Amino acid sequence: MNLALRLGAVLFLLAVWQVVAWLKIWPPVFVPEPVAVWDQLLRTSTEGYSGYTLAGHLLASLRRIVLGCLYGIGGGIVLGLLIGVVPVLRTLLNPLVTFVRTLPPLAYLSLLVIWFGIGEEPKVWLLLLAALPPVAVATADAVRGVHDDYLNAARSLGARPWEIPYRVVLPSALPEIVTGVRVAVGVAYTTVVAAETVNGVPGIGGMVRDAQRYNQTDVVVLGIIVIGLSGLLIDYLLQTLDRRLVPWRGRHI
Amino acid sequence: MPSPDPRADQTPGSAVVEATEPGPAAAPASGPATGLAAIELRGVTRVYRDRPALGPIDLVIPAGEFLTVVGPSGCGKSTLLSLVAGFAPPTAGTVLADGAPVSGPGPSRGVVFQQPRLFPWLSVSGNIAFGLRRSPKAARKERVAELLAMTGLEGAARLKPYELSGGMRQRAAIARALAPRPKVLLMDEPFGALDAFTRERMQEEIRELWRDTGVTVLFITHDVTEATTLGTRVIALAGPPGRITLDARVGGDLREKVETAIRDAASARAGAAG
């Protein structure tokens, strides 16, 4: 039932799109026909675009996202744990993390290009910097929110001070950390297109940018749809991970 | 309600009420010599955020006793427990466990909180085994099985805390606290969040556990009936700052005495405030 409703909505949108294209209110360079986009899907998948197939572009972008997120999430958890546990570091690092978090990634892309050139490094760094703050903030908040009873229970059961962070604090904070990870991956996903505005081929953002230069609107629209759909898939995977990692989320204990 | 069920060396129903008169400096309980005390508090006070929360308290808890501490909310009962547990240091005075000063929490004093506070990422077995990490694997497994049997949780070993009922959770929390064989079990209103039926059953079970294990119990409650039916000795606390207004062995008209002591303290406070 739900699936039918969603499928119906998609079909309806496609129909509206087709009708608008047929009416020729705007030239095809503004509103390409769905069929043209479908043709581009087939062509870019087989012949490729800008020297790479659609899958090649997508894989290059996904690789950047995965690398940037892995570094960003790892760094964010460590940083968040430090901020949450050590008061001095909280005072020192909290404003910095908040500062970076409020910056739009494009603002520091130029700096990263100056530092790291136009290869893979600045792109992965950009995604790292985009993914790190949400995880760090979520971890820091969660770590500070762990109820004293849990820490006291662990100490009464003979846990040593250095065991507490990884045996009790991190697992207690896991629900919030996983939420932070979902936000981080989302941010990284929206940032990858920006990262690929400089020498972004292969990459789905680079493909869209090349197509824009040559007014190939059907390729641009195809790129947008592929980005959206793969984003949905990744979020679905993250939701599954969430259920696996924190089955106790939302349950009163 | 379970009837008071004192150990063999205490004559049942002998109505031994050795209630000390309420006074500013409550006399130490007439317990055995200090050498046998599981817990001893000497002139202990606790000031929290510039406000006196507890004391001065002098108290000797002989090994093997089931001591209940009863008093209204905010009178300092939980403060007393956290000092004995080592969660907070006393502002003045000394807390001794087995004759040695308490400097922090440790496995010789197991704690059961009002909320079970089980680790939700561990199974029931995993929670019970938390305090046994430094034991050899075989011994650990054996001890976990023993505690599961003792608390009637054999069938729940692999379940996660959120899959248990309230009573089962609290049983698992008790099993977890008993796992490292503590000399003293500290319980902070452990049955306060349970429904009436479960609470009654748990009260019977904790008496059985106490009898079977020989552990010394310090049990905090605001329920006078619970205090007088469970304990072999009852302390009434009034405050803040929490002071001992009654220290009595169970038997006879103890319940009335406890109620009177609490009422008197409350009206004295109201009079002082008005």
> Are residues A157 and B118, on separate chains, in Cβ contact within 8 Å?
no
> Are residues B113 and A149, on separate chains, in Cβ contact within 8 Å?
yes
A251 and B CB contact within 8 Å: yes
CA–CA gap between residue A186 and residue A227 (Å, rounded): 12
B85 and A CB contact within 8 Å: yes
Share the mean pLDDT of chain A.
89
Domain ranges of chain A: 35-245
Taking a contact as any Cβ pair under 8 Å apart, which residues of chain B between 163 and 182 contact chain A?
169, 176-177, 179-180
Pick B162's closest partner by Cβ from A149, A158, A248.
A248
Residues of B within 8 A of A156 (CB-CB) are: 85-86, 105-107, 109-111, 131, 177
What are the residues whose beta carbons fall under 8 Å from the beta carbon of B61, sequence distance 6 or more?
Answer: B29, B31, B37, B38, B39, B40, B67, B184, B216, B218
Distance from CA of B183 to the nearest CA of A (A): 12
Distance from CA of B54 to the nearest CA of A (A): 20
Radius of gyration of chain A (CA): 22
Lowest-confidence segment of A19-28, A37-46, B128-137 by average pLDDT: A19-28
CA–CA gap between residue B61 and residue A33 (Å, rounded): 86
Residues of B within 8 A of A147 (CB-CB) are: 117
A23 and B CB contact within 8 Å: no
> Are residues B130 and A147, on separate chains, in Cβ contact within 8 Å?
no
CA–CA gap between residue A7 and residue A225 (Å, rounded): 16
Pick B111's closest partner by Cβ from A153, A171, A174.
A153
> Are residues B117 and A157, on separate chains, in Cβ contact within 8 Å?
no
Order of strands, sheet of B184-188, starting from the edge strand that comes earlier in the sequence? B109-112, B184-188, B216-221, B66-70, B233-238, B243-249
**Per-residue pLDDT for A161 more than 60?**
yes
CB B83 within 8 A of CB B144: no
Mutate to test the interface with B, among A156, A168, A176 (most CBs of B within 10 A): A156
Give pLDDT tens digits along chain B (274 positions). 444 444 444 433 333 444 444 433 333 444 444 447 888 888 888 888 888 888 788 889 988 889 999 988 888 888 889 999 999 998 988 898 888 888 889 889 999 998 889 999 999 999 999 989 888 889 899 999 989 988 888 888 899 999 998 889 999 999 999 999 999 999 999 888 888 888 888 888 888 888 888 899 999 998 888 888 888 889 988 877 888 888 878 765 666 666 677 777 777 767 666 4
CB B83 within 8 A of CB B54: yes
- pLDDT for B33 equals 41
**Chain B residue closest to A164 (CA)?**
B130
B160 and A CB contact within 8 Å: yes
Q: Which CATH class is domain A35-245?
A: mainly alpha
What domains are defined for chain B?
A: 34-108+185-273 (3.40.50.300), 118-181 (no CATH)
Residues of B within 8 A of A168 (CB-CB) are: 119
Here the ipTM equals 0.77
pTM across the whole model = 0.78
CA–CA gap between residue A134 and residue A27 (Å, rounded): 42
CA–CA gap between residue B128 and residue B125 (Å, rounded): 5
